[in-house]
């Protein structure tokens, strides 16, 4: 009978002491694959921490990443020094590590073609260095070449190697997990709520929205945000965002991007990503009420999907702009997850951006459950 995965959390400023405490907490626990998430301060010492964990636990295969805070033991530790570990008790053929540059996906597909054919749409827990100029393309190629479903996030990038897999790093690294070895359920929570329908970019240049639906972009923007905010456009910063609908999504999915600027004279609205003419854009609002509501929706959706099943473990990756910036007890992200799904071993980190399917998101939370 399957048992919950082993997990451990330790806070502290000394990476040696933290690694030792984590190893002690995992003593005797079964597992073949380890996940280590550390705070940003420990990013330079990930290799040393992993070496200590290998020696003390006997687990050879490890994946690690550094973020702006760690999640473990049902707690969120944003901006604090520490680390969390999850040991996955999987068969040897249940996973494959990967790491490298922008061609990491095609290389994995070439070297592990037989395994990928058997695994059939593996889940790829992926960590990405956001400083790499080809990060977005590498993510897309990994998904396309392996047929995998990606989850994970962009790491805190103060260190040259903020993530590792099997001792290697690069633009991205992680582990592909076979659904035949462990059943998986995953879902995404948006931190924003759409204010209206999607609009067609009928005139634009790069990231400048000049006309939407044949009208001045600013006029459409003002209609969507309402009279109260339109009376003082200085208030929209940090509250209103642009969203790009995901083509082909059956879940009204979208990726959120910042508003960069508004020019009342020309009526141009600038956003944080280029949108071609003919593309779609909508505007959304980001606040605590919206975030909590969608977090509850995501947790309830997963509860229905896994009802009656043992949750052996989980990984939760949350945007650094969420956490204490958007949630507060008794409705933090982990409290909502546990209140809906119960207590189970879960680790994670606060990221620069989140991965879901084949793209990079922002202001979202991605929860993955192992059953």
Q: What is the pLDDT of residues 296-347, one digit of tens each?
A: 999 999 999 999 999 999 999 999 999 898 999 999 999 999 999 999 999 9
| Residue that finishes a domain, picked among 285, 314, 342 | 285
Residue 286: predicted pLDDT: 86
64 compared with 1, residue with greater pLDDT = 64
At 237 the pLDDT is 87
pTM of the predicted structure, to 2 decimals: 0.90
**What is the average pLDDT value for the chain, to the nearest integer?**
93
Expressed as residue numbers, the domain containing 345 is: 6-189+291-370
Same structural domain, 342 and 253? no
Residue 124 maps to a domain: yes
* Signed CA dihedral, 122, 123, 125, 131: sign only: positive
- 129 with 223, same domain: the answer is no
Q: Is residue 122 one of the residues assigned to a domain? A: yes
Same domain, 185 and 197: no
Identify whether 247 is part of a domain.
Answer: yes
54: which residues sit within 8 A by CB, 6+ positions away? Answer: 60, 62
Pair 83, 214 in one domain: no
Give CA–CA dist 269/261, Å, rounded: 6
In this structure, the answer to whether residues 164 and 197 fall within a common structural domain is no
Residue 250 has pLDDT above 50, yes or no: no
Higher pLDDT, 286 or 115: 115
Instruction: Report the pLDDT value the prediction gives residue 238, as an integer from 0 to 100.
Output: 84
Question: Which pLDDT does position 251 carry in this prediction?
Answer: 47
Residues 163, 238, single domain; the answer is no
268 with 295, same domain? no
pLDDT band per the 50, 70, 90 thresholds, residue 248: low
The tokens describing 49, both together, are: 């921490």
Nearest to 315 by CA among 94, 72, 40: 72
Q: What's the number of domains the chain is made of?
A: 2
Q: Report the alpha-carbon distance of residue 151 to residue 127 in Å, rounded.
A: 9
For strand 149-154 and strand 123-128, is the pairing parallel, antiparallel, or unpaired? parallel
Give yes or no: residues 278 and 297 share one domain.
no
| 1 domain-assigned | no
Tell me the pLDDT tens digit for each residue of 114-159.
999 999 889 999 999 999 999 999 999 999 999 999 999 999 878 8
- 90 and 216: one domain? no
Task: Based on the fold, state whether residues 89 and 231 are members of the same structural domain.
Answer: no
Percent of the chain scoring above 70 in pLDDT? 98
Whether residues 313 and 165 share a domain: the answer is: yes
């Amino acid at each position: 009978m399957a048992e919950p995965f082993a997990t451990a959390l330790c806070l502290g400023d000394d990476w040696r002491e933290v690694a030792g405490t984590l190893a002690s907490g995992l003593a005797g626990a079964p597992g073949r694959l380890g996940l280590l998430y550390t705070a940003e301060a420990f990013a330079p010492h990930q290799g040393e921490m992993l070496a200590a964990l290998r020696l003390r636990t006997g687990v050879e295969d490890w994946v690690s990443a550094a973020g702006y805070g760690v999640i473990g033991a049902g707690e969120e530790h944003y901006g604090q020094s520490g680390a969390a570990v999850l040991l996955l008790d999987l068969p040897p053929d249940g996973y494959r590590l990967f790491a490298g540059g922008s061609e990491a996906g095609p290389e994995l597909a070439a070297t592990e073609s037989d395994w990928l054919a058997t695994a059939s749409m593996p889940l790829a827990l992926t960590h990405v260095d956001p400083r790499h100029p080809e990060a977005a393309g590498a993510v897309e190629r990994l998904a396309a070449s392996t047929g995998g479903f990606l989850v994970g996030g962009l790491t805190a990038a103060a260190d040259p190697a903020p993530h590792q897999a099997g001792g290697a790093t690069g633009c991205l690294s992680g582990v592909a997990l076979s659904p035949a070895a462990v059943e998986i359920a995953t879902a995404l929570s948006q931190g924003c709520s759409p204010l209206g329908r999607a609009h067609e970019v009928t005139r634009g240049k790069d990231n400048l929205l000049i006309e939407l639906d044949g009208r001045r972009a600013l006029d459409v923007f003002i209609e969507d945000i309402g009279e109260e905010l339109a009376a003082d456009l200085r208030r929209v910063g940090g509250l209103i965002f642009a969203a790009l609908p995901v083509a082909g999504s059956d879940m009204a999915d979208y990726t959120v991007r910042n508003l960069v600027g508004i020019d009342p004279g020309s009526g141009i609205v600038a956003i944080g990503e280029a949108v071609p003419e003919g593309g779609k854009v909508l505007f959304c609002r980001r606040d605590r009420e919206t975030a909590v509501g969608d977090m509850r929706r995501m947790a309830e959706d997963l509860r229905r999907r896994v009802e009656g099943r043992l949750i052996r473990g989980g990984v939760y990756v949350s945007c650094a702009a969420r956490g204490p910036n958007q949630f507060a007890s008794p409705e933090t992200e982990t409290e909502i997850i546990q209140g809906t799904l119960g207590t189970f071993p879960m680790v994670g980190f606060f990221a620069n951006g989140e991965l879901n399917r084949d793209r990079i998101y922002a202001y979202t939370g991605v929860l993955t459950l192992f059953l």
